[in-house]
Structures are given as C-alpha cells and as structure tokens.
Chains A and B, each alone.
Chain A
Amino acid sequence: MKTLREKEKLIFEISKKGKSGIDIKFTVEEKDFEGDYSRKGEIGLPQVSEVEVVRHFTRLSKMNYGVDDGFYPLGSCTMKHNPKMNEKIASMEGFLHSHPMFSYNLVQGSLKAMKVLQDYLCEITGMDFCSLQPAAGAHGELTGMMMIRKYHEKKGDPRKYVLIPDSAHGTNPATSTFAGYSVIEIKSDKNGCVDVEALKEMINEEVAALMITNPNTLGVFEKNIKEIAGILHSKGALLYMDGANMNALMGVVKPGEMGVDVMHLNIHKTFSTPHGGGGPGSGPVCFKSHLAPYQPVPVVEGDDEKGYTMNWNLPDSIGKVHGFYGNFLVTLKALAYIMALGGNGLKQTTFDAVLNANYIREKLKDTYNLPFESETLHEVVFNDKNQEEYGVTTLDIAKRLIDYGIHPPTIYFPLIVRGAIMIEPTESESREEIDYFIEIMKKIDKEAKENPEILKQAPHYTPVRRLDETLAARKPVLRWKGENND
C-alpha cells in the first residue's frame, strides 16, 4: 500500500485544455440542442488522457488497504475473503447487459438466479420467504420494519414503539424512526444481553416489535431469544432480527426456529461480496409466512418447468423500496459463494470464524481488558482499561496496528463499552496470520508501557498521518473550487 509518490494531485489539477480519455465517432448528422434549455459554457470536468486517468487511479488505489492486502478484523463488519470467481460471474455479459424492463422471456437467467438464491437464504435462516430488493443492511431493516408496521396496521393499529437494546447498531434506531416509530432503549444485563425482566416490564400492546441482534454486538449469543420471542408474541408484538452477525450461526441454528418473525442479511458481510469501499451491499429480508402479504413488489416466482416471472399484484404490499429489484449483480456473488461451500462448508465457515475469535480472546485476555466475561462467538470486545494508566487510548492502539500492516478493529463501538476494541477475525485468516496479530497486539501493549509516544504519533508510514477531523467538520471543504481552494 506504500506509494512512491508523496502526494497525488486532484484529477482537476492535472487537467489541460483539449485532452480526453475517450474517442467518440459521430455516426449520424450532428444536431445542436437549441433553445432556452441549451447548456452554455464550461462544465468543469477534467481534461486528461487515458494514460493519466490510469496512472491517477492506480496511484490512488495504492493509498488504500483492502481485504486482499491482509488482516481486516473490523468487528460487526465480517471482512472475509472475497472469492475471485464471484467477480467473474458478476461480469458475465449475459448479466451485465440484462435490462430490468426487458420482457420476462429475455431475462430468464436473471430471474432464476434470484429465485434460487431466495430459496437458499430461506434454508439457511429457517424463514419462509425472502426478498432481495433492499440494497444494503439498513435498507433491509427499513423494509422489514415497514412490513411489521403494515402487519399491525392490518390488525387495526400500527402501534407506537420499537424496543432496541443499548448495544445495537445505530442503524436500528434510525430505521425505526424512518418506519414511523418511537424508540425505547432496553438496557443490557450484566452479561451484555437483553434484560428479560426489564423486557417483561416494558412490553405492552403499544409495542410493535423488538429489534435484536443475535449474536449481539458483544459477540454474545442471546440465549433467551425464544423466551424473548414468546414475551413479545404474547402481546402481539413481533421479533426483528438484525442478521449482521449471521456468520456466527450458519448451519448451527436457524433464526426461523428461534421465534424470529423477520430479519435481514448482509450479503456483503456473511456472503463474501466485496465492500467496494462502502458498497454496494445487499440486504435481503427474510420473513415468516404471516408477513408475506406485506413484502415489497415485485415477487419473483416460477420454476424451470413453468419459467420464471414477476408478480406485481400483491394488494397489501408495502410497495417498492428500490427503483428496480435491488443490487442484482451483488446477489449473484452471494449465490456463487453459497453454491461453492454448500451446507457443510457454510457450517465449517461459522466454526472457523468462532474458533479464530475465541483463540484471539484466550491469547489476549491477560493483556487487554475484557469488559464482559460472557462466552462469545464470532467476535470479541476488549477495551483500553489496562493501557489507560500510560495515557494510551483505544485510538492510539488502533492507529499503531496500521504501522504493522494490520487494519484496525472496530473502535468505540458498541457504545456500552467504554473505549471498545471490537475484533472479528472471520474464518478467512490462517493460524499464522492470527498468531501474527496476537504477537503485534502484545507488542503494542509493551510499547504502551515503554514508549507511549510512539503510539500517540501513529501511524508513521502511511501516505498521510492523523488528520484533523474537527477542522474538516468546522469549515467544510466538500469540492474543488479551482486553484484557490484553501
């Protein structure tokens, strides 16, 4: 990731009049767009050749760190290996040029891929139906919560509140608001789990649902989940499960058998599709049959014999949540991944992910403080309590990891842990890589005692050093305005 250049100028700064990186041949008589709405003057796009574009973006890429570069233990993000066949499949011409408004007879391959993936996701989650329309995890949450609202509405009252544990991802409360609900936070018990007694006190017929993450963001399995579902169902409320941590459960349990009514999956976490520097993800929503009438339209239907089609006629549907059918090319990659591993491979994947996390936990628990003692699955949360006395914080530890060629873990989340260091190794790491990480974490602890300044100044070898985020927010510079862009 080291680039040989000190700095890469903005593409606008290397622009020179009259150059272009594309040759366009006119095949038809040129016509000018005339009248009131014709565009006048410079637009302000750069003018560079193909060579300069290639060099510019190649150099920029070298300032990034991807999962192909090495260990990426971001907790809750499941940064696993992205199989290379996935990319080959998602760039097959037959899929790339398939237009969403083509006649169904022209897109049978696309429709079949969607149907097969939906069926596999139902098998993995134990749910009855699945919609691939949501474009990301948070979008899946919103779709699921809107389906819950519609379900209650059909029973006469949408209800008012959604219960959310204090350890939840920020998307959960934001989603509930966007679905028209007020949020009530549930405190975690001493094990970091949903406090069942507190839930019993809070539940009433104004509560629409509880959003649970299982295993939760501490990596702890919510073992009372069936009881929790029972408490909710007894008052007519539903259980939503955030499937962000599904990598801990594949082939071991099925949410559909634990009382979950609706959940989403993060295809770009559990099912190996690349994050792309922030998306596109895909957030399929899987649900039980009592929520099926409310799913987004269209619904893919059919089989090899009858052929595949889309059903738009679902009178109680929440409507559409995406302009077309979701991030189709991303879902192809997930299907390829599931087919490659099969049921047993998925189970082994989960086993290895949990093994790696527990191995790290065991090897580092004497060095870093474990704020919660409960047994954990696919991730482990430490904090900086042991290093505090040397004036070293979680941020310093994270930044020092970069100097050793390791991407930092998720930090300062979950919010219920002060100075959290949230480590999710995934199944993609060899023992050698895991041992290297453990060795470096111990070394950093030693440095914290002996030379804390080296941590506070970290990282040392990156294209830029620590950046002034306060300045960026106080005086936002959000685009290049020309040579005098200060």
Chain B
Amino acid sequence: MSRFLPLSDEEREQMLKEIGREDLFSPIPKDLRLKEDLKIRSHSEKEVLYFFNNLASMNKNLTSFAGAGVYHHFIPSAVDYLSTREEFLTAYTPYQPEISQGTLQTIFEYQTMMCNILGMEVSNASMYDGATSLAESILMAKRIVKKKNTVAISKGVHPHYLKVVKTYLKNLGINIVEVGLKDYVTDIDQLKKRLSENSDIFAFAVGYPNFYGSVEDLKEIVPVVKEYDKKAIVITSTTEPLSFGIIAPPGDFGVEIACGEAQSFGNYPGFGGPLLGFLATTEKFVRQMPGRVAGQTVDLDGKTGYVLTLSAREQHIKRERATSNICSNQGWCMLRATIYLSLLGENGYKKLAKLNYSLSEYAKEKIGKTKHFKVVNTKPTFNEFTVQTDVDFLSFRAMCEENGVFPGVHLAKFGLDKDKFILTCTEVITPEDIDKLVNLMESAK
C-alpha cells in the first residue's frame, strides 16, 4: 500500500507537530467528510500484474485485416526504446523552455515533417485524434470565413468523425449539409448542386483517401468550391497519412486545412487510443489555428532555441475567446511519430507506402476472382478498400475468426451496409495471409 509514498509514519507525526496541525482536513466541514473507507482493495505489484496479464490474454489478436481509422503497422524497436526515456515520458508540457528543449525541438521537427508530408506550411503540435481534429478544423474555417454558417461534408469522411463533428457543432448553431457519394467517392454533381442551392457554406470537408479507401478527385473538387466562393475552404480529413508516400498530398491541390489521424506513425492500435490528431494549414491562417505550436527563437546569448508560441490564441490567455479549449494534447504520441518518421526517412516512408499499396493491389486482384466477394471501389485506393459479399458477413467473419483471421471491419458496425466491409492490408500482412483469407472467401457459403 505504501510503496509509492516516501513519508514514514514517524515523519508524518513530526511534520504535523511542527506545523501545529491536529486535523489536516479542518478546512473541510465535518458533515461532508466520509464516514466509511472507500471500497477498493489494495494489491501488491505481483497481484496487479497477474490481473492485467489475465485481461490481456482475454483479448485475441488475430491476423488482422482491420483498419478503417486505426492501423496495425510494424513499429521499430527504437521507437519504444527512445520514447519511454523518462525525460520525455515523465516531463510536463514544455512551459519552462530552458529545461524542455528536448520536447520543444521534437515538436519543431514534427511540425516540419508533417508540413512536408502534407504539402502544407504550418502544423500544430497535435490534437486528440482524427475525429476531433476535423471538428476543430471546421471551427477554424468558420473563424476565417466569419459571415457564413454552414459546412458541407462529404459522406466519404469517417463516420465516427462525422458523429464527433455533429456533437461539436450542434451547440454552436453551425449547420451541416451532407454531400452524397457516387461509386464510393464524393458525387461532384451533387456537390455542385448543394453549393448552388445554398449561399451560406464556408467550407467543404472531404476524406482523402476517404473512409471507403478511395482517392477523392481533389483536382476537380477544389476548383468547384473556389468557384462557388473563393473564400470558402476545402478541408481534407485523412485516416492513413502513410498514403502520402505515393499519393499526392493535399497541399498540391490548394487545400487550406489538412487534418486527420497519424496513429499509423509509430503508435499502436491500443483499442483506439491514445491516437494522434494532426492539423496543418497555410501561413496566412496560422493565428486561427487551434492547439499548441512550437517556434524557433534565440536566447540571451543569441543561441538558437525553441519555445511554445502564438499562445495568444490559447485558453490560458484568451479564456472564453480562445481558438479552442484544448490544453493537454497527444505530445508523447507526437514524439513517437517523430522518431518513427526519422527512422523511416525519405526512402523508407516511400517504400513502406509502396509495399502497403502493392499488398493491397494483390489482395484486390485475388478477391476479384472469388465467387461471392467483390471490390466495389472504382477509383484508386491505397492500403484499404471496400468489399461487398452476397454471403452472410457475420457467419463468414465467425468462420474466419475460428481460423485465426479477422477479415476486415463490417460497415454495419458504423450503422452502414450489412453486406460490405473494409479490408486493409498493411506490411504486417503477408501474401500468404492474403491467400489464406481468399481461401476462406472461396469456402464461404
């Protein structure tokens, strides 16, 4: 019980005596104080570890084709090793820059990497996750285009993200117009129609690649939105930024806010958290950006150093007029991403993206030849795609699980189609795993 407590009973007694206090809790009225002890038993470390070992073994980790927002990737040992150095792990937010240069320089390097990957000019130091980063991006766009009050959102963004956006916007009087899909990408005719019907739209948010795995046609979408109103902002929401190793980044098409989820960069699935929300924009809009950001400066001797900056946007200064209420972010996940991307580097990042793509294309080809399963995406995809089946998916999944394979994420889990699922191939999957899955598909009835 007391292994975390460095005061001995004798010291406690002495200290109480020295400060002349009999009842340490005298500031709390007696009638509020608990009469009974909390009903929680204490455990030795051995007992605690035993309990958690049991829980961990109740989880079953199969050969997994799951993705749809959280990805299984191989994580080099150096990421775990370096990120758990206590100086990074047990430090607070870097408010005292003289003793936080490690964290601050890492943030600066992370911001640079994310800008380069996304083709953007400014990145913040992280958001909670991809879903909240989309909600915050929409609120940011609203601050930029002050007079309008409606956001258009493609139905190809991750359905959980859309749910979170609705939760965030509901109380702020911002309207949402959803734009439907055609062949699993945004229906551009419908987008044009929605825009022509409504002069109140300040931004359009689109998945890139989208939830179904398809690469959206930004070359068409951005000009359509800009022709409607040159101030209107296109926001891309990405769940798998490894894709930008082979796919042109949002910045190439005039996207002004690129946000999403970077769990793929050196962070484990971890039952969905902690994740790593990212948000990047252009220099012009930096003062409307939510979240922390690190900047370069000099010290008293003229030596280069880094500080948290532009804090006049943040809640501890601006209070009710802040650009966001965010305080703690996902700093340690960001550190892991920075180490991971440093290890991958230019060549590793591109090559890994290509490997994911190649495996996924191999799977698509094989699945295309099965009797009961077909890939529905017609546009290019990266490492995941949507499969339709005419067999009962739940029985098929149960059969796969019995054979040690998780075949992909059922769209019904998101309240969508019962006959479709999203299948993801990252580098942790081998061609033999794909062959095994395809065999299971062949035997499905």
Asked if B164 contacts A336 (CB within 8 A), the reply is no
A interface residues, how many (CB within 8 angstroms): 203
Range for the number of chain B residues in contact with chain A: 35 or more
Asked if B286 contacts A478 (CB within 8 A), the reply is yes
Asked if B299 contacts A46 (CB within 8 A), the reply is no
- Contact residues in A for B64 (Cβ distance below 8 Å): 97, 99, 102
Candidate in A348, A477, A478 with the most chain B CB atoms within 10 angstroms: A478
Interface residues in A334-372 by Cβ distance below 8 A to B read 336, 338-349, 351-352, 354-356, 358-359, 361-362
Asked if B315 contacts A174 (CB within 8 A), the reply is yes
Given contacts A65-B87, A277-B332, A472-B296, contact A97 B94 (CB under 8 A): no
Asked if B40 contacts A138 (CB within 8 A), the reply is no
Q: B293 in the interface, Cβ–Cβ < 8 Å? A: yes
As a 0/1 sequence over residues 259 to 278 of chain B, the CB contacts with chain A under 8 angstroms (1 = contact) are 00100000011111111000
As a 0/1 sequence over residues 372 to 397 of chain B, the CB contacts with chain A under 8 angstroms (1 = contact) are 00000000101000000000000001
Asked if B332 contacts A469 (CB within 8 A), the reply is no
Asked if A103 contacts B112 (CB within 8 A), the reply is no
B215 vs chain A, min Cβ distance (A): 5
- Contact residues in A for B416 (Cβ distance below 8 Å): none
A148 vs chain B, min Cβ distance (A): 11
Q: A292 in the interface, Cβ–Cβ < 8 Å? A: no
- Contact residues in B for A54 (Cβ distance below 8 Å): 78, 81-82
Interface residues in A45-60 by Cβ distance below 8 A to B read 45-48, 50, 53-54, 56-58, 60
Asked if B29 contacts A223 (CB within 8 A), the reply is yes
- Contact residues in A for B122 (Cβ distance below 8 Å): 478-479
- Contact residues in B for A173 (Cβ distance below 8 Å): 315, 319-320
As a 0/1 sequence over residues 71 to 86 of chain B, the CB contacts with chain A under 8 angstroms (1 = contact) are 0100010101110111
A111 vs chain B, min Cβ distance (A): 9
Q: Which of B20, B94, B297 is close to A278, meaning CB atoms less than 8 Å apart?
A: B94
Asked if A138 contacts B359 (CB within 8 A), the reply is no
Asked if A466 contacts B299 (CB within 8 A), the reply is yes
Q: Which of B1, B270, B406 is close to A95, meaning CB atoms less than 8 Å apart?
A: B270
Interface residues in B395-445 by Cβ distance below 8 A to A read 397, 401, 406, 409, 413, 427, 430-431
- Contact residues in A for B123 (Cβ distance below 8 Å): 478-479
Asked if B76 contacts A21 (CB within 8 A), the reply is yes
Q: Once bound together, how far apart are the Cα atoms of A431 and B14, in whole Å? A: 10
Given contacts A103-B401, A106-B401, contact A407 B328 (CB under 8 A): no
Q: Once bound together, how far apart are the Cα atoms of A10 and B104, in whole Å? A: 11
Candidate in B29, B318, B346 with the most chain A CB atoms within 10 angstroms: B346
A266 vs chain B, min Cβ distance (A): 8
Interface segment among B5-13, B148-156, B197-205, B224-232: the answer is B5-13
Interface residues in B134-189 by Cβ distance below 8 A to A read 158, 160-161, 163-164, 166-168, 170-173
- Contact residues in B for A32 (Cβ distance below 8 Å): 246, 354
Asked if B92 contacts A339 (CB within 8 A), the reply is no
As a 0/1 sequence over residues 50 to 85 of chain B, the CB contacts with chain A under 8 angstroms (1 = contact) are 011111111111101010111010001010111011
Interface residues in B98-148 by Cβ distance below 8 A to A read 98-103, 105-106, 108-109, 111-113, 115-117, 121-123, 125-126, 128-132
Q: Once bound together, how far apart are the Cα atoms of A254 and B351, in whole Å? A: 55
B306 vs chain A, min Cβ distance (A): 8
Q: Once bound together, how far apart are the Cα atoms of A296 and B91, in whole Å? A: 31
Asked if B6 contacts A430 (CB within 8 A), the reply is yes
Q: Which of A35, A89, A272, A356 is close to B48, meaning CB atoms less than 8 Å apart?
A: A89
| Further pairs besides A351-B12, A375-B26: 11, Cβ < 8 Å | A64-B87, A64-B103, A108-B59, A109-B55, A174-B325, A252-B25, A253-B34, A277-B332, A322-B132, A402-B96, A465-B303
